[in-house]
Amino acid sequence: MNKRIDLHMHTLFSDGELLPSELARRAQNLNHEAIAITDHIDASNVETLPQIQKAVDDINENWDINVILGAEITHTPVKSIDKIARKARKLGAKIIVVHGETLNEPVIEGTNLAGVKSKNVDILAHPGLITREEAEIALDNDVYIEITARNGHSISNGHVVNVCREVGNKFLINTDTHSPDNIITFERSRIVGLGAGLTDDEVEKAIIDNPRELIGRI
């Protein structure tokens, strides 16, 4: 059975429902080889990252699943994104996600652009109506583009694929998990990718090759 990697998940350290340990256990039970805990941060709570790291270390020492400390910069002023990303990195975050301009929330215009311009950002999540310019900058800065399984955010997946495929961006299929029922199997992630318009080969890269590549560079 293929193992899954999900690099965008939340715990009760932000607006998720689960402790880090329960999130990891449920993911392990659904055959995940790795997950990233990417709780929402802004200037008010970035200092919580070392506290989450304690749980991450405990899980990694005891269970056969790779848990990575990350962070999702969410609804922050555009000019603050890179500064917060740099601070999160110093506090231990290995994967930095920017909460992109989803059509499901009133995200500040310019968030996508600031996210892909930052040298400290790894993933642009649910980027809504991403532009070709933003996609090209993401490619230049090696920022991965998310295809999301999350309801609401996923309505622009087709647009994201159409724009970013032409540019040559690297895709990831993530869940943006907040509750137990958001965690998905490998096969379900394939369905999400195919439904977004990815080919079979592109889906395999988005589920296996690209997340392993990103983990390998941290």
**CATH of residue 44:** 3.20.20.140
**What does the block give as tokens for 172?**
């990831």
| Beta-bridge partners for 163 | none
Q: Which residues contact 126 (CB under 8 A, 6 or more apart)?
A: 99, 100, 102, 104, 146, 148, 150, 153, 154, 156, 176
Residue 125 near residue 97, CB atoms below 8 Å: yes
Question: For residue range 146-178, what is the model confidence (pLDDT) as tens digits?
Answer: 999 999 999 999 999 999 999 999 999 999 999
Reported for 134-137, long-range contacts at CB under 8 A and 24+ positions apart, including other chains, are 135/163, 135/164, 135/166, 135/167, 135/169, 136/167, 137/113
CA dist., res. 20 & res. 25, Å (int)? 9
Range of the domain at 10: 4-216
Confidence of residue 36 (pLDDT cuts 50, 70, 90): very high
Contact 9, 184 (CB under 8 A): no
Distance CA 64, CA 28 (A): 8
Asked if 42 and 84 count as a contact pair (C-beta separation under 8 A), the reply is yes
Q: How confident is the model at residue 185 (pLDDT cuts 50, 70, 90)?
A: very high
Tell me the pLDDT of the chain averaged across its residues.
98
Has residue 121 got a pLDDT over 80? yes
CA distances from 11 to 8, 16, 58, 79, 170 (A): 11, 4, 16, 26, 26
Residue whose entry in the numeric block shows the structure tokens 């200092």: 47
Residues 173 and 149 sit within 8 Å (Cβ to Cβ): yes
User: For the chain, what is the domain count?
Assistant: 1
The whole-number pLDDT of residue 150 equals 98
